[in-house]
Each structure stands twice: as structure tokens, then as C-alpha cells.
């Protein structure tokens, strides 16, 4: 299995991404989960990560708290999408499992230094604050990263928090710039892909019909989470943004994209956090990321449903 660190701000879609990873031990070995401030403040994302691991029946998972604010700006949250708790929808019990003592950034740095080079994949599902802080603190880790598979950005789909920017990049563009320039192989799941990963009614019914706590909670979470996108975009269901990351680690053939140059806008008031993606290759700027453009949505949902059934 591929060794991964999940860096996350749960979030209903983060929750499904985590459940998918924890249900897939043949392909994925979750070394640890690091929380970050994003959809809701850090205390809540850390609490939610614990609730999800217990929902998965994996209280032995190591959870670390990371950064509580972006590098250079104040925190922007998304309760309008995810609800007050960040995980509105199901009624999940208060968790008992611990949070590890070590800071999440130190866990990332130490793990990359301890494990053989090229064997650890980072899976950021929220703002890139923790990953950028780790890279700033310990630049030697960049060349030890196997791959960074992240959810963030957009090209044709442009933005969801401002007209020009996707939420995860917008919240901490300075961090995103550090990550996109770090030199490690990067695969990006932008809105262009995740807006095709929609939990339609039959897909939601399939989660619920599993009848186990993880299946029922996933149906309840996506029921709640779909409101925003249905009202805003007339979407056919909740977009499962973050599970695209863990599904890609399990089966990259579900996705297709292009290896291109991606730069992050950090200066402009109007377009801060925009991923300027050279999809058509109109510049000679260096290619630094594989930017996904499409997915096999039926294959993606079949995988998630099959894996949730195991929990
Ligand atoms: C991203 O922002 C968050 O609200 C979601 O969890 C996802 O990571 C989508 O723009
Ligand atoms: Ca997220």
C-alpha cells in the first residue's frame, strides 16, 4: 500500500475522503491525519477528524492538530456550506480517541525524514498552510515527497468562494504558492473534476442502503452538503471534492488530466487565490503539476460505495 498523510479541514466531503482511505488498506496506509483551519476553525476540524475515525471503527488512527490560521491573512471559513459544526447532517457521538501531542507540522516533517525518500504521499484536502509551513521549516523534505495529491483550484470552473478562486487555495494563497513551487510531483483535483463527482439521488440512496453507520452518515452528510451547490449552481447533487484525492491514490485510472504549469495569484485584490493554469500551453513556464480535467464518475461512486460497505 501507498503510505499517505491526510491533511484536512473536515468538512463532509473531507469525511468521505477519510472514510474511503481508512476502508482501503490494500492500497492505502494512513500514517496519520493532520487537521488544519479551513471550513471551520481548528478546534472543530480536529474534533471532526476524531469523530470520522471513530465512525470508521479506526480509533487507533494517529490524529495531529496543525496550524490554526493561514500564513499571511486572517482565516476565512465556510459555515455557509458545511454548517456551524463543519460536519452538519449526521448526529455523530462525542469521540474518545486522543489527539497526539506532537504538532501536525512536526509530524509531517519527521515522517518525511524518517521514511525512505519517495515513499510518502501527502493528501491535502484543505488550505495548504500545514504543508507550506513544513516546507518552510524543513526545505530538505521537498525531495523526499513521493507525490502531493491535493484538492484545490479550478480552470474552466473558475471559483466557488470568489468569482476567481476556489476555497482551499483562496484561504491561504501564500501557502499554495510555496507548495506549487516546491518541486515535488503534484496532482491537482480542481473544481473542473470535482463538480463532475456529484452525489445524485440514486448515489445517495446507495450509500444509505448499505445500512452501516459509515454508509448512513455519508448519505446524511451529503444530504446536508448538497444544499449549497443545488441553490448556487443548480447542481444535481453534492460535489464530492475531497474524495477525488483518496480515490486517485487507490485508482489513478479513474482520472485524466494534463501536466502543465500552474501559478497562484497572491497579489491582486480581485483574483487572489486564483490558480492560473496553463491548460493550453501558451507559455513556456515550467510544468509543475498534473491538473485533472475529467473523471469516470460511475467508477468513482462504485469504488466509494464498495469501500464504505466494508466499514
Ligand atoms: C473545498 O473547499 C471545502 O469547502 C471542501 O471541503 C473542499 O475541500 C472545495 O472548494
Ligand atoms: Ca476540505
Q: Tell me how far the alpha carbon of residue 124 lies from the centroid of ligand 2, in angstroms.
A: 8
Q: Which residues of the chain have pLDDT under 50?
A: none
Counting ligand 1 atoms within 8 A of each CB, the residue from 6, 11, 189, 197 with the most, and so the one to mutate, is 11
pLDDT of amino acid 24:
98
pLDDT of amino acid 264:
98
150: cell is 491535493
Verify whether residue 241 is a known catalytic residue: yes
Q: Tell me how far the alpha carbon of residue 54 lies from the centroid of ligand 1, in angstroms.
A: 22
Q: How far, CA to CA in Å, does 200 sit from each of 90, 236, 297?
A: 18, 6, 11
Which of ligand 1's atoms lies nearest the C-alpha of 81? Answer: 4
Taking the CA of 166 as reference, the closest ligand is 1
What gap in Å lies between CA 203 and CA 300, rounded to an integer?
A: 11
Counting ligand 1 atoms within 8 A of each CB, the residue from 150, 241, 275 with the most, and so the one to mutate, is 241
pLDDT of amino acid 230:
79
Query: 130-169 in b/e burial notation, b at 16+ Cβ within 10 A?
Result: bbbbbbeebeebbebbbbbbbbbbbbebbbbbbebbbbbb
| Mean pLDDT taken over the chain | 97
The reply to whether ipTM tops 0.90 is yes
Q: Tell me how far the alpha carbon of residue 284 lies from the centroid of ligand 1, in angstroms.
A: 30
* Ligand 1, CB within 6 Å, residue ranges: 11, 13-14, 39, 78, 81, 125-126, 151, 160, 166-168, 241-242
pLDDT of amino acid 227:
78
Which of ligand 1's atoms lies nearest the C-alpha of 125? Answer: 8
Q: Which of 42, 35, 29 is nearest to 15 (CA)?
A: 35
pTM of the model: 0.98
Residue 77 and residue 39 in contact, taking contact as beta carbons nearer than 8 Å: yes
Amino acid at each position: 500500500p501507498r503510505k499517505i498523510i491526510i491533511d484536512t479541514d473536515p468538512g463532509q466531503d473531507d469525511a468521505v475522503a477519510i472514510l474511503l482511505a481508512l476502508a482501503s488498506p490494500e492500497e492505502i496506509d494512513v500514517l496519520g491525519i493532520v487537521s488544519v483551519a479551513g471550513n471551520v476553525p481548528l478546534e472543530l476540524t480536529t474534533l471532526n477528524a476524531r469523530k470520522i475515525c471513530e465512525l470508521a471503527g479506526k480509533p487507533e488512527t494517529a490524529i495531529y492538530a496543525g496550524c490554526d490560521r493561514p500564513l499571511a491573512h486572517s482565516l476565512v471559513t465556510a459555515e455557509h456550506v458545511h454548517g456551524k459544526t463543519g460536519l452538519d447532517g449526521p448526529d455523530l457521538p462525542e469521540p474518545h480517541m486522543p489527539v497526539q501531542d506532537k504538532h501536525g507540522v512536526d509530524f509531517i516533517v519527521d515522517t518525511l525524514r524518517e521514511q525512505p525518500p519517495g515513499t510518502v504521499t501527502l493528501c491535502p484536502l484543505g488550505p495548504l498552510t500545514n504543508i507550506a509551513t513544513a516546507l518552510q521549516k524543513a526545505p530538505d523534505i521537498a525531495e523526499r515527497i513521493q507525490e502531493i495529491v491535493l484538492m484545490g483550484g479550478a480552470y474552466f470552473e473558475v471559483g466557488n468562494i470568489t468569482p476567481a478562486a476556489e476555497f482551499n487555495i483562496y484561504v491561504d494563497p501564500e501557502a499554495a504558492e510555496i507548495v506549487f513551487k516546491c518541486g515535488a510531483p503534484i496532482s491537482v483535483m480542481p473544481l473542473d473534476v470535482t463538480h463532475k463527482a456529484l452525489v445524485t439521488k440514486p448515489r445517495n440512496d446507495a450509500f444509505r442502503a448499505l445500512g452501516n453507520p459509515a454508509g448512513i452518515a455519508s448519505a446524511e452528510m451529503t444530504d446536508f452538503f448538497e444544499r449549497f451547490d443545488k441553490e448556487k449552481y443548480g447542481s444535481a447533487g453534492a460535489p464530492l471534492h475531497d474524495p477525488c484525492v483518496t480515490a486517485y491514490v487507490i485508482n489513478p485510472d479513474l482520472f485524466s488530466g494534463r501536466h502543465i504549469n500552474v501559478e497562484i495569484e497572491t497579489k491582486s485584490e480581485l483574483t487572489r487565490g486564483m490558480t492560473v493554469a496553463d491548460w493550453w500551453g501558451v507559455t513556456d513556464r515550467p510544468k509543475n503539476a498534473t491538473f485533472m480535467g475529467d473523471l469516470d464518475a460511475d467508477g468513482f461512486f462504485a469504488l466509494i460505495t464498495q469501500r464504505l460497505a466494508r466499514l
